Amino acid sequence: MKSTGLNKTGELTSHFFRNEYGKLVAVITRYLGSEHVETAEDIVQDALLQATKHWDLHGIPDQPKAWLYTTARNLALNALKRRKHQRAYTFHQTNGTFEVEQLPFSEELIEDSQLKMMFWCCHDSIPEHSRIALILKILSGFSISEIANAFFSNKETINKRLVRGRKQLRNVELDSPNEQDLNHRLQTVLKTIYLLFNEGYLPAIKNQTIRFDLCLEAIRLAQLLSDSQLIPKKADIHALLALMYFNVARFKSRVSKTGELMDLREQDRSKWDKELIQYGIQFLDRVVHGNTLSSYALMATISANHCVAASYDKTDWERILSLYDELLLLEQSPIVQLNRCVVLAEVKGIPSAITKLKDLGTQTDIHRYYLYHFTLAEFYKRDQQWLASKLAYEEALKLSENPRDREILKKKKQALVPNSSSQLS
């Protein structure tokens, strides 16, 4: 049965863009050569454009993925012929479509191509920020705006990073790295996957609550690494998978019936997916524990403590605070310190957390992030400092770009005790 309709076609094409874009770019780049990765991206974008136009006119085919892959393969074949490659490629026409006898697009080949491209983009000659931007753009189909979001940066800066990164890529061979290079580049690959997951878990610009497709794509890429025989040491991979599964398990409780994000205190824990929590525990159990834990293992353990707690009040906050203290020894990031302040409020009280959070705002650039002011507003509200809470909500509103977040902030600000004259502490 075929479906028709512009909205349905647009949704399906968008789905393919997220789920198939990176696969197609990776395998086509393998055939065209690493120096032609931008041509591969153009081919995939052209295939998606053709799909949109054709399906709008004739309806979505019974096997849309096969249709898309055939179109992309034919465009790649044409590109190869135009470049006058030495090898002969043959095809014949049947019922108006090309049956290509070369350029195989098998699942095994696609997975191998994606792995090679992930590590290719993380070559030592490419600056770290450019590496992450390249993977998000080439393998995950991120727009420049979305990449800028992930970095708390702007489009101009990200575009410059991509230009520099692509220039360096032309001098790097697309092959399987040796074990030493592979282990060295793995941390950048994992960092990229985690950024991808976070963009889905808490979208910063689009008016969406959760972008499940991005979170699932991040898990899929991490699973590719976990399944690969090329990577002997997988503790960090398994820790990251555990962290993502613990977070995904809480998705159904994170959104209210009216589409608003729910914080941990408000979530209905009966909606948490016990099967996904078990997946997370299994991956965490596979992490080799030594005298110290990696950042991903610590974050996964923190998330595991939340997932196994019977209720918010019965959460082992002191244990979680100690885990954050360990994490800060490895990663002195403002975001980690912000999250620690939330736990500190449960262990040592709101005044102590407010003091720590205000110090953090003067010592780092976290004050440019709307969630810093949102957290401060929530602390002031719990401490009944109504005017201070109102001002903090207003500052968060100035910095927030997502309509979803702005709506939540407005409602919380309006719900404050009216006509209060409390002053900032």
277-283 contact pairs (CB < 8 A, 24+): 277/245, 277/246, 277/249, 277/307, 277/308, 279/241, 279/245, 280/241, 280/242, 280/243, 280/244, 280/245, 280/246, 280/249, 280/304, 280/307, 281/242, 282/242, 283/238, 283/239, 283/241, 283/242, 283/245
Q: Is 97 helix (H, G, I), strand (E, B) or coil?
A: strand
User: 401 falls in which pLDDT band (50, 70, 90)?
Assistant: confident
Closest CA to 195 of 236, 135, 259, 250: 135
Across the chain, mean pLDDT equals 82
- What is the reported pLDDT for 96? 37
Give the residue extent of every domain in the chain: 6-105, 107-208, 360-425
- What is the reported pLDDT for 208? 52
Max avg pLDDT among 80-84, 106-110, 127-131, 394-398: 394-398
Would you say residue 106 has pLDDT above 60?
A: yes
Rounded to 10 degrees, what is the CA torsion of 63, 68, 69, 71?
120
- What is the reported pLDDT for 13? 63
Residue with tokens 């025989």: 229
- What is the reported pLDDT for 2? 39
Of the CA atoms within 13 Å of residue 210, those in its CB half-sphere come to 19
User: 124-133, 318-327, 352-361, 412-421: lowest mean pLDDT where?
Assistant: 412-421
pLDDT above 90: percentage of residues in the chain:
34
pLDDT tens by residue, 332-368: 889 999 999 999 999 999 999 999 999 999 999 999 9
User: 146-150, 200-204, 215-219: lowest mean pLDDT where?
Assistant: 200-204
- What is the reported pLDDT for 4? 39
Return d(Cα 16, Cα 387) in angstroms, integer.
Answer: 48
- What is the reported pLDDT for 37? 83
Would you say residue 3 has pLDDT above 80?
A: no
Q: What is the mean pLDDT of residues 310-315?
A: 93
pLDDT tens by residue, 34-66: 778 888 888 988 888 888 888 878 888 888 888
Would you say residue 29 has pLDDT above 70?
A: yes
Return d(Cα 66, Cα 62) in angstroms, integer.
Answer: 9
Closest CA to 196 of 126, 153, 132, 252: 132
Name the more confident of 66 and 101: 66
User: 148-152, 187-191, 204-208, 238-242: lowest mean pLDDT where?
Assistant: 204-208
Is the pTM value of this prediction over 0.85? no
pLDDT tens by residue, 245-268: 999 999 888 877 766 777 888 888
- Can you spell out the DSSP letters for 238-265? HHHHHHHHHHHTTHHHHB-TTS-B--GG
Closest CA to 16 of 136, 134, 141, 116: 141
Residue with tokens 């994490």: 327
pLDDT above 70: percentage of residues in the chain:
83
